[in-house]
Structure 1
Amino acid sequence: MTGPVIVGADHSPGTADALALGRWLAETLEVPLIVAVVHPAPSAIGSGRVDAEWIADRHRAAERILTEARSTLDDRTGVEYRVVASTSAAHGLHDLAEQTGAAMLVVGSGAAAPAARIFAGSTAERLLAGTICPVAVAPAGGVAPGSLGRIGVAYVDTPDGRAALSAAAALARRTGSPLLLVTVVAGGDAALPFMIGDDAERAFLDTARETYEDALRNAAASVPDVSAEWELRSGDVVEELAALDDVDVLFCGSRGYGPTRRVLLGGVSGRLLRRARRPLVVVPRA
């Protein structure tokens, strides 16, 4: 991770959480921090002067947001502030990430997010539909980034899971924090609704647990220069992962298909965006 951390800022309350998370990530990874505000680009078809006046007004509003961001960051030196013109906030941040080779994009939760919960707004959801770099979403009003001293990974032994582990390990090496790898096995009814007989269900789940434990053990041992612990939990996958509140950030993969090196939300990562208590980082496919 050598490119900048980019924080998408706007007038929403979640921007302060995103700035705090982005600053911590940039300082930890020792990469530049860019705070970007996207305003509408001029329309190809419009009424000339009216469009120009409206665009100028939106540009001034973007500059005011950047002024607020500077104040939030206490005029921290080394931060670059940019106003980007684009057709949408997500599109503008996508383009900026590609142009700069961003290490990560950071945004806040939607306006409806309850305290210490992520609730993805439209920009976050659109960002996660094709971004080339990991996307971090900060929960509303959570604890200070970096205060808990552990990095979480929602791990499955797939290319997506291994990509999430690799990205988490890169951050853990910088912080000196241990990793916590978590796999959740669904309960019997959820795992095998089509099978009849408790014995068959128990046999299947016992075999699955052994397989997952081996995968977790091997994954934890495969990460160099990082202390790694692992847990195998049972229950609803999203509920168990969302309840993790003792990690500074939780990394997860996107999904098992789609263009390589692009984030495309799968069922678990998509639902986690609305439930997680800690910052969630969704990593592109390997």
Structure 2
Amino acid sequence: MTGPVIVGVDGGPTGPDAVVLGCWLATALGTSLTVTAVHAAPAALGSGRVDAEWVADRHRAATRVLDETRASLVGVACAIDYRTIASSSAAHGLSDLAEQLSAAYIVVGSGRNAPRERLFAGSTAERLMAGSICPIAVAPTGLKAPLGALDRIGVAYVDTPDGRAALTAAAELARHSGAHLRLTTVVAAGDAALPFLLGDDTERAFLDTARETYERSLSRAAADVPDVTAEWEIRPGDPVDTLADLDDVDVLFCGSRGYGPARRVVLGGVSARLSRRARRPLIVVPRSG
């Protein structure tokens, strides 16, 4: 994808977080920003006048949201386009626009707080993960201050098509920004690795074999990334807890779960929970083939 970074805003309190992250990504990639407010479209079955009045009201609300965002972005260096879109949901509207523009990323807020003048209810991020063709960036709460230069990009890596897709996308951002990569694999610690007790010796052998396998795949993946400095690590613990608490990377890439249609982000257990809990901006990447 070579198009703009799309930022979805809805009048809720996490919209400014998404805008900060979107500006950051657009600047790093040297591309433009498209700030988008999606409002309700006319219903297929509606009561004419009432439906038209509701859609008009939602369009006015979307315009106000864009006006507020435009005022906050005065002086921003990258080129910015502002759009309102009528759709059945925010996720559908943003996904359709991304496909039309060949967007590099779609950026949304975390959706953790109640709305002020929120245009759609529900978790737009999770719905986007169920069908977007481009990476979804989720801004954690509290990104309202400008971000500094990218230094280290994290990748939640496993040697699967989804893990390799995340690494490819992270490497592209690293090449544009000059950042380093860190590949992290989380291995369950102790008896969490097995669903039932097989004995200490068997469990230890299982964990040792798993660690050796992960070490080989991480070392090979880090060495094969062109034009980027990459390091790797293995951390013990629960994957979601461990990855969510990473505080020594600027942004964390992860793949969608290991099955589903090609070139679609498919909502996985780890990526879904990370989108609600990660301390750093999270980018969920669709598989590439």
TM-score bracket for the superposition, by shorter chain length: over 0.9
The corresponding residue for 2:217 is 215
Q: What value does the CA root-mean-square deviation take over the aligned residues? A: 1.6
Give yes or no for contact 2:105–2:135 (8 Å, CA) kept in 1: yes
1:162 maps to which residue? Answer: 164
Q: Once the 2 structures are TM-superposed, how far is the Cα of residue 106 of structure 1 from its aligned partner?
A: 0.2
1:138 corresponds to which letter in structure 2?
A: A
Q: Which amino acid aligns with 1:83?
A: T
How much does 1:50 deviate? Answer: 2.1
- SS at 1:270's partner residue? helix
* 1:95 matched residue in structure 2: 96
Q: Offset of 1:149 from its aligned partner? A: 1.2
Q: Secondary structure at the match of 1:181?
A: strand
AA partner of residue 2 (structure 2):
T
Pick closer, same or farther for the CA change 1:188–1:106 going to 2, 3 Å.
same
My pick for the range that moved more, 4-13 or 192-201, is 192-201
With 39-48 and 138-147 compared, the bigger mean Cα shift is at 138-147
TM alignment of 1:180-191, pairs within 5 A: 180-191=182-193
Say which SS state the counterpart of residue 174 (structure 2) adopts.
Answer: helix
**Deviation string, structure 1 residues 179-230 (Cα, Å, up to 9, x no partner):** 0100000012111132421011111101111110111111110001100011
Matched, 1:200 2:202: yes
For 2:148 and 2:257, how far apart are their aligned partners in 1? 27
Match of 1:235 in 2: 237
Range with greater deviation from structure 2 (68-77 or 2-11): 68-77
| Mean Cα deviation higher: 39-48 or 9-18 | 39-48
Deviation track 1:128-167 (CA, whole Å, cap 9, x = no partner) reads 1110000000000047434461100000000000000000
- 1:46 to partner: Cα distance: 2.1
Q: Work out whether 1:249 is the aligned partner of 2:251.
A: yes
Amino acid in structure 1 at the alignment position of 2:46: G
The alignment partner of 1:179 has SS state of: strand
Per the TM alignment, residue 90 of structure 1 is displaced from its structure 2 partner at its CA by: 0.8
CA shift for structure 1 position 45: 2.3
2: CA distance between counterparts of 1:47 and 1:209?
Answer: 62
Q: TM-score, with normalisation over the residues of structure 1?
A: 0.94
Name the counterpart of 1:109: 110
Q: Work out the number of aligned pairs and report it.
A: 280
Structure 1 stretches lacking a partner, 5+ long:
114-120
Taking a change above 3 Å as real, the CA distance of residues 144 and 247 of structure 1, as seen in their structure-2 partners, is: farther
Unaligned runs of 5+ in 2: 115-121
* Distance in 2 (alpha carbons) for counterparts of 1:5 and 1:173: 17
Code of the residue aligned with 1:3 in structure 2: it is G
Specify the alignment match of 1:49 in structure 2.
49
Report SS of the residue matched to 2:276: coil
Cα distance change of structure 1 residues 208 and 55 upon mapping to structure 2, 3 Å threshold: same
SS at match of 2:62: helix
Give the CA deviation at 1:28. Answer: 0.9
Judge which range, 11-20 or 47-56, deviates more: 47-56
The 5 Å alignment of 1:124-135 reads: 124-135=125-136
Cα distance between partner residues in 1 of 2:198 and 2:88:
53
Equivalent in the alignment of 1:225? 227
Distance in 2 between residues matched to 1:205 and 1:45, nearest whole Å: 58
